[in-house]
Amino acid sequence: MNALKLHRKLDAIWSSEPGWRGWFSTVNHSDLGRMFLGTAFFYFAIGGILAMLIRAQLATPHSAFAGEEVYAQLFTMHGTIMMFLFAIPAIEGLAVYMIPKLLGTRDLAYPRLTAYGYWCYVFGGAMLLFSLAAGIAPNGGWFMYPPLTGPIHSPGINTDFWLIGITFVEISAICAAVELTVSILKFRAPGMSLDKMPIFAWYILVTSLMILTGFPPLILGSILLELERAFGLPFFQADLGGDSLLWQHLFWLFGHPEVYIIFLPAAGIISTVLPVMARTTLLGYGWVVAAAVALAFLSFGLWVHHMFTTGIPHMGVAFFSAASTLVAVPTAVQVFAWIGTMWKGRPELHLPMLHILGFFITFVIGGLTGVMVAIVPFDWQVHDTAFVTAHLHYVLFGGFVFPLLAGLYYWLPLFTGRQRFFKLGEIAFALVFIGFHGTFLAMHWVGLLGQRRRIYTYDADAGWTTINFLSSLSSFILAIGLALVLIDILMHMFATVRGKRNPWGAGTLEWAAMSPPPSYNFASLPVVRTRDPFRTDTDLAERIAKGEGYLAKPNGNLRETLTVDVASGKPDYVVRYSANTRLPITLSAVTGLFFLSLLLKIYWFTPVAVIAIAIVTWRWVWSSGSRNDSGLVSVAANTKLALAETVEASPGWWGSTFLLVANATFFGSLIFGYAFLWTIAPGWPPPQWLEPWAPELLAGTGSAIAASAFIRMAMRQNRNGQSPQSGCLLAFAATIMTAVSLCSLMLRIPDPTGHAYGATLLFISGYGLFHTLLSALMLAFLSARISAGFVSPQRKAAPAIVRLWTDYGAATATVCLVISHLPAWLT
Amino acid sequence: MFVGSAGIFILVTILLAMSFRAKRSNSSETTLERAWIIGLGICFTMTVLAILLAYGIIAGNRLTASHSEDAVKVSARADRSGWTFSYDARPGHATRDILHIPAGQNVTVSITTGDVIHSFWVPRLAGKLDAIPGHVNTLKLRANEPGTYAGRSAEYSGPGYLGNRFEVRSHGADTWQAFLQGELD
Ligand code: HEM
Ligand SMILES: [Cu+2]
């Protein structure tokens, strides 16, 4: 088959529906990556306009432009949009687009999940946009400290938009993180062992794992605060046994890693682009990977440095102060590895390189002021002044926006297959650079003079007028620069000439695909033997296109790719994806109805929405798999591989594992919250503990253990060729028994609105009940699949997945029951 | 601290600029790794951090409240429109938005709040400390000279945050006695 014929055949299988309709049914990662990036930059523009309004207000003392209330909405929404609707989705978009191409494969692990995540982002973001347009936007600052945001001091709907909208958007972050983790671990070109992986993939892997463990505390905090606001469960009210410090812990447990979640992918871009710009390879690949991992670990120990002024004991402060400064080490390792790379090679000043230099200058200043902020006595002086805001922008803009622009300009020829024609980008860079530093150096300065952040005006005699004016003026130069970047990119997309393949002479696989990349990425999957296979092997692209790699023969209408062994990169099994579908957008619309019912307080509708979600999900999962055993699939001349449904460690199993990692972090944060309230909050012990009741405890824990045993029995039956139906049904019955025990527990809890103890217990047992019911639903699904003939000794993927969830449900139910009974026995 | 920061910044800039020079060294990958990553990345950074940290901990110790017997004890209670101060040495008396203290003596301020989170900050006297519902934080202050010091809340507290300010008046021995005797409000 020649290259063109192969292209036509593959494209017919993989392409999305033509025209705008295709947007709603596409599951292709290139499409969705572009959509993610487009939407993220739309929010960047909105966030930027809000920033301009803020600076316009602060340009002169006593500006009558925005009042106090409007100003509060402006800065809250600016921060919120930039962090949640721009930065994180932009990273997800870039990773979704690039990762399969860098890894030499055809798509991500779960194409439908990519689409679901995208639509959750769109719908959740739309809620926040609506609140902004209607003038009822959140107004408590981007970290939303209660009690200011609690029901007493903020009775309006503003805060609910934040809590509910952001939680909705967070779903997309979690989906993307699960997806990227599994894709990087399993979906690579044959032969690409971990140590041959492009450095960007390492960074995205670390980032994804951080999202999985960093976001759950925030989701938990948001749910608790929303429960307090909606139903009066007093988690954060000091007079009822709650504590507003709990929110601060949960928020910064997320918020500090968040900064690194934003920075690490940007560092990944630099580690990819910089060596190419210097015509060499990255210095100290292993060191850089180790530094990224170290940064991830350290960043979780650091949240308390945002709480230095809350009166944490001095020893604690000293410990966290030391740990905070320690992150400078892995950061410095990366920075010096990059500078060393430049010394090793011959750096050339192309546009991406300019942005990287912009990054260096800005980020080093930001890092140094960061170390200053981490030093406690200094922090006491500048905490909550414009100095801190300025520092934060040096890190976020320097550490994220400059690298992102470097990456965009670097990969633009790949996105479009064209070459830049007008030299607008250089002028834009100069304006952005000058404007940025003007704006924020001035803000450092007024901060040191004592200007607090979040004030909507200041006195003319404070002596801040000129500096603020300079800052505002520069911010408009910055805005013009960013607008020019946009115009440059648009002109590039529509008005320039075709470029040649691989204009930078890079060595990674994405440049070996056609550009713009076709729907299927690679006509055949290349065999990888070095870290940058395209550098030495220049006719690799032709061989891929001619089908001289794996999976070169299209198989009917099937979208096929293969997975590899995690460490060695040896081919493992073949995966068949589902084609274009509207299920993802439907499911996220139904999810949206669920959140909307909470926002509008139409609570009778909430269960309806939950059932609708369950039904759509059921259909979603039902539609894959087959009723007949099939043999091995031929993937190359003399290599045959099994199908995904015939292995226990199937993609679904991997995804479930990482989803459960996130879930366990959520549960862990919940237990932390319980322990925190118990030991630190004022107003404990509560007036009354839960009465221990042995039968309930024994029935609950006993049936939980039984459920785990029965699902194992089902798997054993299946392996031995018997029908697993009886084991499955017994597990189902046991799970229902656990659910009954948990319901009994929930009914006996002391008044949940009277004390945070009751509220916490209600939430913990509710969490246990939810997971027990989820296990029951999955077991019912499995039983239906067994009856319909989808499970056989050979097709054993489904029971393994259900076992994971059953075990998790059983474990959480047991923990819930035990810790509810514990306090009364201990005291 | 600023000199040190500027020094590091200039070092990085020079290293960047010099990488554009024409001549290449032909040292091996491992030598480069040793110089850049272990030398500069790890050893150099660790040294700088150790110095900074030692400074931070020593200075931090001086600032936190230790329960010295002779300190004058006052309480501060914040709310969204201002601050109410009361005095152990003058029970039953409270002042609004003005904190009276004796000059030249240690003062411990017990800080709490009646509604949302605020932060007690008198830039010229001490670092800031939060007022958190249900908790009492103590801050050590000392004004050596009699005079008036501006103070303000430094944690966003919703509408009224801008105007949430107070004043600290430190008195010489005579006026302080007069204040304690009730001859001065
Ligand atoms: C485009 C140029 C930008 C300008 C001119 C700008 C300007 C500002 C200003 C003046 C404030 C302070 C508001 C106040 O305290 O009164 C602020 C706050 C903030 N900005 Fe930006 N910003 C920009 C970009 C970004 C980016 C790219 C991010 C994040 C990725 C970001 C994140 C934040 C956050 C988190 C806050 C704190 C909001 C709060 O206090 O609740 N900004 N920005
Ligand atoms: Cu932090």
Choose the mutation target among B14, B81, B116 for the interface with A, i.e. most A CBs under 10 Å: B116
Q: Is the Cα dihedral A29, A32, A37, A43 positive or negative?
A: negative
Contact A311 B32 (CB under 8 A): no
Q: Using one digit for the tens of pLDDT, what is the confidence trace for A406-418?
A: 999 999 989 888 8
Q: Is the Cα dihedral A197, A200, A206, A211 positive or negative?
A: negative
Place of tokens 């630190």: A680
Residue A113 lies in a domain: no
Residue A720 one-letter amino acid: N
Positions of chain A with pLDDT under 70: 1, 314-316, 374-380, 496
Instruction: Report the distance separating Cα A219 and Cα A91, nearest Å.
Output: 20
Residue A726 lies in a domain: yes
Q: Rounded to the nearest whole angstrom, what is the distance from the C-alpha of residue B67 to the centroid of ligand 2?
A: 31
Q: Take residue A453 and report the two structure tokens written for it.
A: 């952040």
Residue A705 lies in a domain: yes
Q: Total domain count for chain A?
A: 1
Q: Where are the beta strands (DSSP E) in B11-67?
A: none
Task: Specify the ligand 1 atom closest to the Cα of A86.
Answer: 30
Contact A336 B36 (CB under 8 A): yes
Residue A661 lies in a domain: no
Chain B hits for A364, Cβ within 8 Å: 8-9, 12
Closest chain B residue to the Cα of A325, Cα to Cα: B49
Chain A hits for B36, Cβ within 8 Å: 283-284, 336-337, 339-340, 343
Closest chain B residue to the Cα of A154, Cα to Cα: B158
Closest chain B residue to the Cα of A147, Cα to Cα: B116
Residue A422 in contact with partner chain B when CB distance is under 8 A: no
Q: Rounded to the nearest whole angstrom, what is the distance from the C-alpha of residue A660 to the centroid of ligand 1?
A: 34
What phi, psi does A173 have (nearest 5°)? Answer: -65, -45
CATH code of residue A780 = 1.20.120.80
Q: What residues have CB less than 8 Å from A6, skipping those under 6 apart?
A: A523, A545, A546, A547, A552, A554
Chain B hits for A354, Cβ within 8 Å: none
What phi, psi does B27 have (nearest 5°)? Answer: -75, 155
Residue A622 in contact with partner chain B when CB distance is under 8 A: no
CA angle A521, A527, A532 (to 5 degrees): 80
- pLDDT value at position B41? 78
Q: How far is B37 from chain A (nearest CA, A)?
A: 6
Instruction: Report the distance separating Cα A309 and Cα B60, nearest Å.
Output: 12
Q: How far is B84 from chain A (nearest CA, A)?
A: 19
H/E segment holding residue A84: none
- pLDDT value at position B40? 81
Higher pLDDT, residue A612 or B81: A612
- pLDDT value at position B65? 46
Partner residue facing A377 (CB), from B36, B49, B63: B63
Q: Rounded to the nearest whole angstrom, what is the distance from the C-alpha of residue A51 to the centroid of ligand 2?
A: 22
Residue A712 lies in a domain: yes
Ion ligand 2: residues, Cβ under 5 Å:
A 256
Residue A386 lies in a domain: no
Residues within 8 A of B (CB atoms), A 674-733 only: 681-683
Choose the mutation target among B79, B117, B122, B124 for the interface with A, i.e. most A CBs under 10 Å: B117
Q: Enumerate the β-bridge partners of residue A641.
A: A633
Closest chain B residue to the Cα of A344, Cα to Cα: B24
Q: Rounded to the nearest whole angstrom, what is the distance from the C-alpha of residue A252 to the centroid of ligand 2?
A: 7
* Strand-by-strand arrangement of the B98-102 sheet: B98-102, B165-171, B147-153, B118-121, B129-131
pTM of structure: 0.95
Q: Rounded to the nearest whole angstrom, what is the distance from the C-alpha of residue A318 to the centroid of ligand 2?
A: 15
Residue A304 in contact with partner chain B when CB distance is under 8 A: no
Chain B hits for A683, Cβ within 8 Å: 134
Contact A377 B59 (CB under 8 A): yes
**Strand, helix or coil for residue B90:** strand
Q: How far is A758 from chain B (nearest CA, A)?
A: 19
Query: Long-range contacts of range A490-495, CB-CB < 8 Å, 24 or more positions apart?
Result: A491/A421, A491/A422, A491/A424, A492/A412, A492/A416, A492/A418, A492/A420, A492/A421, A493/A415, A493/A416, A493/A418, A495/A421
Confirm or reject CATH 1.25.40.340 for domain B72-180, answering yes or no. Answer: no
Partner residue facing A340 (CB), from B37, B46, B162: B37
Q: Rounded to the nearest whole angstrom, what is the distance from the C-alpha of residue A183 to the centroid of ligand 2?
A: 29
Task: Specify the ligand 1 atom closest to the Cα of A76.
Answer: 41
Task: Among A75, A263, A382, name the best residue to mutate to test ligand 1's pocket (greatest count of ligand atoms within 8 A of Cβ).
Answer: A75
Q: Take residue A766 and report the two structure tokens written for it.
A: 């509710």
Q: What residues have CB less than 8 Å from A601, skipping those under 6 apart?
A: A230
Contact A454 B154 (CB under 8 A): no
* CA B180 to the chain's CA centroid: 28
Pairing of strands A633-636, A639-643: antiparallel
Residue A746 lies in a domain: yes
Q: What residues have CB less than 8 Å from A710, skipping those under 6 apart?
A: A727, A728, A730, A731, A734
Residue A542 lies in a domain: no
Share the mean pLDDT of chain B.
84
- Domain of A793 in residue numbering reads as 685-826
Partner residue facing B20 (CB), from A147, A347, A380: A347
Q: Using one digit for the tens of pLDDT, what is the confidence trace for B97-155?
A: 999 999 988 999 999 999 999 999 888 888 788 999 999 999 988 888 899 998 888 88
